[in-house]
Amino acid sequence: MIKPRELKEAAQGISILYIEDDVELRQNTVRLLASFFNEIGVAGNGLEGLNKYRSTKYDLVITDINMPVMNGVKMAQEIKKENPQQVIVVISAHDEAVYLLDLINLGIDYYILKPLDLDKFLSILYKAVRLTQFHKIEKNYKLMLERTVAQRTKELSDALTIVNELSSELVYRLSSAAELRDPETGMHNKRLGLCAPRLAREINMPFDFIESIAFAAPLHDIGKIGIWDNILLKPEPLNEEEFEIMKSHTVIGANILSNSKYDKIRMIETISLTHHERWDGSGYPNGLKGEEIPMEGRIVAICDQYDALRSKRPYKNGFSHHRTMNIIIRGDGRTKPEYFDPRILTAFVRIADEMNEIFIHNQDSDKQLFKEA
């Protein structure tokens, strides 16, 4: 048997809504409830009770069933729709057992018959209060968990932002290191970082891929930091032996970046190794053919070729956009259309004007990188 003191202690901070149409019973029960609860709402029918509940959201609801305007079952249905965990105690007469199945289906927590037995009523009130407290603790825990998850998510997002910033700085510094060896490569690398993601978007690659190739493409020639200056900076065309050494920049770059656990770094490794492979299998270093060549390598290959033809070098002038596209589409001694993935070549032709704009707006201001030829 529950002692009144135990119920009063348990009921601290619990608000209660009591709905009963019998005025005398309502008044007597409210006097009893006031011994245990500090906040009590009172209503004379289900509709009035529902409106009060919606305006205040009481912790515990006690209701009669058979009432005018709206009965207790209908009111309980509406409350449970809005708050499935709402604790409801139903007080009913013996002849209202027809409602029992509806109450069970609604998930009504406690049911007590009239006339009220004081000890049973206090015992059910105590159980209802404890269940209400449990739901409040559970709700507070969920809110705390949600706030914690939101905070941790923000911290993770901030950490990822820092990682991305550090990664971008790594790209910048590595690109700068390559540029120190060969000053001509600086704007070339920047342009590839713009052309490659645009081409990737044109062939409907996923966002993550586009983001990664924008990060990775500027470092496609990072392996050139391992090539001797007398070859890398030679003002004349390379002889056969020198060209073989120059070709090793693909493997050197891949070795520098090998075994990384980060996707973007692995993409740089892949691009470094494969951007001189050719669709027809005549490329280097491994003679890969067709779809053996990773997509990122195929994309950078055509962007690199376009930019190389456009750019001025000590041993050649740069070509105009029109002449460069004619060479890429029809071929000459420098390149052939068979070198490129046909789907990527077609996409490149579609956006050729944009590639020209990228080239024009990303040149060293004090250099003429191409002239009509």
Strand stretches in 7-127, DSSP E: 15-19, 39-43, 60-64, 87-92, 110-113
Quick one: how far is CA 26 from the chain centroid?
Answer: 55
- For 75, residues 6+ apart whose C-beta sits below 8 A from its C-beta are 19, 46, 47, 49, 50, 63
Phi, psi of 90 (to 5 degrees): -105, 130
| CA distance linking residue 253 with residue 227, whole number of Å | 11
Token couple for 91? 């007080």
Q: What is the pLDDT along the chain (373 residues), one digit of tens a residue?
A: 778 888 888 888 889 999 999 899 889 999 999 989 989 999 999 999 999 999 988 999 999 888 888 888 889 889 988 888 888 888 887 555 566 767 777 778 788 888 888 888 888 888 888 888 888 888 788 888 888 888 888 887 777 777 767 666 666 666 666 666 565 677 888 899 999 999 999 999 999 999 999 999 999 998 888 888 888 888 888 999 999 999 999 999 999 888 888 888 899 999 999 999 999 999 999 999 999 999 999 999 999 999 999 998 777 889 999 999 999 999 997 799 999 999 999 999 999 999 999 999 988 644 444 443 3
Angle formed at CA 328 by CA 322 and CA 334, multiple of 5 degrees: 110
Give the architecture (CATH level 2) of 4-144.
3-Layer(aba) Sandwich (3.40)
| CA distance linking residue 44 with residue 106, whole number of Å | 22
Place of tokens 């420098």: 334
- For 331, residues 6+ apart whose C-beta sits below 8 A from its C-beta are 337, 338
pLDDT at 287: 97
Q: Which CATH class is domain 182-360?
A: mainly alpha
Domain ranges of the chain: 4-144, 182-360
Token couple for 265? 């770094």
